[in-house]
Amino acid sequence: MNIPQTNKKRIVIIGGGFAGIALAKKLRNKNVQVVLIDKHNYHTFQPLLYQVATGGLEAGSIAYPIRKVIQGYKDFYFRLTSVKEIDTVNQKIISEIGDLYYDYLVIATGSKTNYFGNKEIERNSMSMKTIPQSLNIRSLILENFEQAVLTKDVTESNALINFVLVGAGPTGVELAGALAEMKKAILQKDYPDLDISKMQINLVQSDDRVLSTMSEKSSQAAEKFLLELGVKIWKNVRVTNYDGRTITTDSNLTFETATVIWTAGVQGAVVFGLPASSLVDRVARIRVNQFNQVKGFENVFAIGDIASMETDKFPNGHPMMAQPAMQQGRLLGDNLIQLMSGKKMKPFEYNDKGSMATIGRNLAVVDLPHYHFNGVFAWFVWMFVHLISLIGFKNKAVVFLNWAYNYVRFDREGRLIIRPYKKKSFITFTSDEV
């Protein structure tokens, strides 16, 4: 990997998400050598991926070059690669671009979509955990519409503009709302030769309410908002299969659709090489103690979505969200310095600042620890919090400008199929000479 050997301790961080970046910032100029590794050369602001998928924002606005984050940090190295395996016996990682020894290893690989072992659903449906995946969804939505205008077969064209979202967590709800707004404000105008009333947005959920991790009040408000926007909500329904055309469920309900977006589950993005005992089986997270130390290791840590710290308050680990990830990253930064100087580490305690989701224009729900509210004010709070959380002044400014424009003009201009998402055509073409 061409990293110089020095007499400083080397900390290797795998992953430049919320947790990894928060940790890296804490380790700035701290008399250690830091190697940050990621598959991408940018940090992704995942909470806004759904806006990239639905044309509200450009990908570049919610991504930030990792090298720019660590610009000027002494003894910091970034490497763009995938880690193939961890070798804890020899204290090294094995990557596509060579091996690297570590003194301290921090696993911050985040999470990936969980299809619960159903390979057919995995093959045929879309997931939305990365920017390329969001851009694929954007392309597919538009490609479906472009195909729908070509056919006189109503069954086909209806399936092409039937969007089924599986999972009604924040991602599913936000996507559903955004699609509903696209339908009303854009697709209707862009495709005048199509009966847009046939466009369906189906939100399918195995739980008995949407946003089941939020308050009852927020769930109810979100459902009301979604229904007003024309989203069909199906509760207590579990999707059993999707063959690329038909969704089957554990009830009589089926859907004919060209597009399934799967947001029904996440699991840890585990790297190979850890002993099985350190893994939490259900969603493949890594078991850590209150210092984020991986079970059985002194110098291997896991933070963020990949880490499962079982506490009294969170018996299944913390929610897989940005807040706990950033807080763990920051604390570990301090703790590593403590550890290296032989001092005591501080146990992690999650400071839950609340959670929120936006459904559409003027419509959001916010749960603060002791207060829940929704509507226009919640929507402004949502926007404000997301704006200030973006890294970098320019991204903030460009996102603000886009949102202001989209709000005033009821528009989303990011409807460009830059890289077609190749999927076999849903319809076949005949030489219908007209």
Task: List residues near a copy of itself by CB under 8 A.
Answer: 1-5, 40-42, 58-61, 63-65, 67-68, 71-72, 77, 79-80, 92, 94, 96-101, 131-132, 135, 142, 146, 149-152, 189-191, 193, 392-395, 397-398, 401-402, 405, 409, 411, 413-419, 429-434
Give CA–CA dist 65/60, Å, rounded: 10
* Given the residues 174, 181, 216, 223, the one annotated as active site: 174
Please identify, using beta-carbon distances, which residue of 130 and 311 lies nearer to a copy of itself: 130
CA-closest candidate to residue 258, choices 165, 194, 163: 163
Please identify, using beta-carbon distances, which residue of 27 and 365 lies nearer to a copy of itself: 27
Please identify, using beta-carbon distances, which residue of 2 and 341 lies nearer to a copy of itself: 2
Shortest Å distance, C-beta 92 to a copy of itself: 7
Shortest Å distance, C-beta 72 to a copy of itself: 7
Shortest Å distance, C-beta 316 to a copy of itself: 34
Q: Are 51 and 71 in contact (CB under 8 A)?
A: no
Report which DSSP code applies to 54.
T
CA-closest candidate to residue 232, choices 185, 180, 195, 187: 180
Please identify, using beta-carbon distances, which residue of 376 and 397 lies nearer to a copy of itself: 397
Report which DSSP code applies to 5.
-
**Within 13 Å, how many C-alpha atoms sit on residue 240's CB side?**
7
Shortest Å distance, C-beta 420 to a copy of itself: 9
- The pair of structure tokens assigned to 56 is 């509200």
**Within 13 Å, how many C-alpha atoms sit on residue 397's CB side?**
3
Pinpoint the alpha helices (H) of 86-237. 119-124, 131-148, 154-160, 170-182, 188-190, 216-228
Give CA–CA dist 337/31, Å, rounded: 9
- The helix/strand/coil state of 412 is coil
Pinpoint the alpha helices (H) of 151-201. 154-160, 170-182, 188-190
Extract long-range pairs of 321-325: CB within 8 Å, 24+ residues apart. 321/355, 322/18, 322/46, 322/47, 322/389, 323/350, 323/351, 323/352, 323/353, 324/350, 325/17, 325/18, 325/19, 325/22, 325/108, 325/110
- The pair of structure tokens assigned to 213 is 């991790």
Shortest Å distance, C-beta 351 to a copy of itself: 31
Shortest Å distance, C-beta 415 to a copy of itself: 5
Q: Are 26 and 334 in contact (CB under 8 A)?
A: yes
Shortest Å distance, C-beta 160 to a copy of itself: 13
Question: Any bridge partners for residue 302, and if so which?
Answer: 107
Please identify, using beta-carbon distances, which residue of 62 and 166 lies nearer to a copy of itself: 62
Give CA–CA dist 22/290, Å, rounded: 18
- The helix/strand/coil state of 309 is coil
Pinpoint the alpha helices (H) of 62-130. 66-69, 119-124
Please identify, using beta-carbon distances, which residue of 1 and 340 lies nearer to a copy of itself: 1
Indicate if 58 belongs to the active site.
no
Please identify, using beta-carbon distances, which residue of 7 and 431 lies nearer to a copy of itself: 431
Phi and psi angles of residue 124, each rounded to the nearest 5 degrees, phi first: -100, -10
Shortest Å distance, C-beta 219 to a copy of itself: 34
* CA of residue 287 relative to chain centroid, distance: 21
Please identify, using beta-carbon distances, which residue of 61 and 358 lies nearer to a copy of itself: 61
Give CA–CA dist 166/245, Å, rounded: 15
Residues labelled as active-site residues = 174
